[in-house]
Amino acid sequence: MSTNPFALFALWFSEARKTEPNDSNAMALATANADGQPSVRMVLLKGYSPEGFIFYTNQESNKARQIAERGFAALLFHWKSLRRQIRIEGKVLSVDDATADAYFATRSRDSQLGAWASDQSRPLDSRETFEARFVAVQERFAGQPVPRPPHWSGYRVYPHRIEFWQDREHRLHERHLFVRTGPDSWDEGLLYP
């Protein structure tokens, strides 16, 4: 293994990008509300560094409200083709406006427009209502760049635990756990399968 969990993540992620049939950057994001009720959904990793793992969303969504209530989340990457998974737990911080703006500018125009048209996680009376809102947003921004909505941004999960799990025969799996001990230092150990 490695004494640097980010170097190991980069290696495993690079291998997954070659072997996973689609969405090798898909990760389960687990949050909990103020009462401790857990919730999990799939999101896409859009950047990573020793400062954390970044994803983007509507800040009025359930996940964003739960992050605001608790401030912590867990991530899970599962790459079936490699028989590997990575579990990450940590504090969640908002990315700065410049980072959010830069990423938003790389999205397809329809994805940008969809961020304006959607009241993510709120009840929707019919698909037609959403499609009409999308058309209205298309007309609003016709012939001009689509700015990032004020309610849309990114989050960075700053990890305090990262576990690398490798499938082995007869359920004799290999588990390596990294626990942060300082800004740039980690303790590494093994876990029973």
Tokens standing for residue 36:
């401790």
Give which of 53, 37, 64, 39 is closest to 90, Cα–Cα: 53
Q: Compute the residue count for the chain.
A: 193
Active-site annotation holder among 109, 122, 171, 180: 171
Q: What is the CATH number of domain 5-107+150-191?
A: 2.30.110.10
Task: Give the SS3 label for residue 81.
Answer: coil
pTM for the predicted model, two decimal places: 0.93
Q: How far apart (Å, rounded) are the C-alpha atoms in residues 60 and 137?
A: 18
Q: Which residues contact 157 (CB under 8 A, 6 or more apart)?
A: 52, 53, 54, 55, 73, 75, 88, 90, 91, 92
Q: What is the pLDDT of residues 63-97, one digit of tens each?
A: 999 999 999 999 999 999 999 999 999 999 999 99
User: Is there a catalytic annotation at residue 171?
Assistant: yes
**Is residue 11 pLDDT above 60, yes or no?**
yes
Q: Which residues of 30-64 are buried (b: 16+ CB within 10 A; e: fewer)?
A: bbbeeeeeeeeeebebbbbeeebbbbbbbbebbbb
Q: In the chain, what are the domain boundaries?
A: 5-107+150-191
Q: What is the DSSP letter of 168?
A: -
Phi-psi region of 78 (alpha: psi -120 to 50; beta: other; left: phi over 0): beta
Look up residue 163 and give its amino acid: E
pLDDT of residue 1: 54
Give which of 174, 151, 191 is closest to 58, Cα–Cα: 151
Q: What is the pLDDT of residues 94-132, one digit of tens each?
A: 999 999 999 999 999 999 999 999 998 889 999 999 999
pLDDT of residue 3: 74
Q: What is the pLDDT of residues 149-165, one digit of tens each?
A: 999 999 999 999 999 99
Q: How far apart (Å, rounded) are the C-alpha atoms in residues 15 and 17?
A: 5
- HSE value, Cβ hemisphere, 13 Å, CA-based, for 146: 24
